[in-house]
């Protein structure tokens, strides 16, 4: 008789598990009917951000000195000394231009301009691959006078920390009839964008 009671008990346990399973299936079916045939709970989103470009250059050494000389001589800033030093401290690559605020060569150096005088500039990297240079130490570029005559110093002037510094120097061929004078100065304007 005990064996019959045990069998009935097992049948009742099985039927209770079946009832629980049927109830769970019914709840799942009801959920699909009410909420559609997709499961909810997973969501996606989009984050939007903008990096703003900042063009900024510091002129660490804003003064350049051309060594003194006599009429007919070519004189320049000493490479590695007496030059200007620029650093791109923004977050975008730059193109930089330069011009002198004077009306022309003779207003800076005096004389009538005899002997094909010139006023030139050059630049080179302080850190490797900082920029593409227009006037170089061996091939200097002629400086323009007035804002309408601005010429490129460099293009692709990088902003990365190890490639963002250049030197800028100057050279002049002194006119053969230049007037003897005390040291004079001229202002050059450098614009980077």
Task: Give 65's Cβ-side CA count (13 Å radius).
Answer: 6
The residue that leads in pLDDT, 153 or 105, is: 153
Cβ-based neighbours of 132, under 8 Å, separated by 6 or more:
154, 155, 156
Give per-residue pLDDT as tens, 63-105: 888 888 888 889 999 887 889 999 999 999 999 999 999 888 8
Specify the 3-state DSSP secondary structure of 98.
Answer: strand
Give per-residue pLDDT as tens, 45-73: 888 888 788 889 998 888 888 888 888 88
Domains and CATH numbers, the chain: 57-192 (2.60.40)
Q: Which of 147, 140, 67, 134 is nearest to 102 (CA)?
A: 147
Question: Using CA atoms, how far apart are residues 136 and 123, in angstroms rounded to an integer?
Answer: 5
User: Two tokens at 79?
Assistant: 């490479």
Regarding pTM above 0.85, the answer is no
The residue that leads in pLDDT, 54 or 164, is: 164
* pLDDT of amino acid 60: 83
The residue that leads in pLDDT, 111 or 152, is: 152
């Amino acid at each position: 008789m005990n064996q019959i009671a045990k069998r009935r008990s097992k049948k009742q346990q099985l039927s209770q598990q079946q009832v629980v399973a049927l109830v769970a299936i019914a709840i799942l079916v009801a959920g699909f009917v009410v909420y559609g045939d997709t499961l909810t709970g997973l969501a996606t989103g989009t984050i939007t951000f903008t990096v703003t470009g900042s063009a900024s250059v510091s002129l660490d050494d804003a003064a350049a000195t051309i060594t003194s000389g006599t009429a007919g001589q070519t004189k320049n800033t000493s490479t590695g000394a007496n030059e200007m030093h620029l650093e791109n401290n923004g977050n975008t690559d730059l193109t930089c231009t330069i011009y002198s605020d004077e009306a022309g060569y003779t207003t800076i150096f005096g004389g009538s301009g005899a002997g094909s005088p010139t006023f030139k500039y050059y630049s080179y990297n302080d850190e490797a691959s900082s920029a593409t240079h227009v006037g170089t130490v061996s091939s200097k570029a002629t400086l323009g006078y007035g804002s309408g005559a601005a010429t490129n110093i460099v293009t692709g002037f990088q902003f990365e920390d190890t490639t963002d510094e250049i030197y800028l120097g100057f050279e002049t061929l002194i006119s053969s009839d230049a007037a003897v004078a005390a040291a004079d100065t001229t202002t050059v304007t450098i614009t980077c964008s």
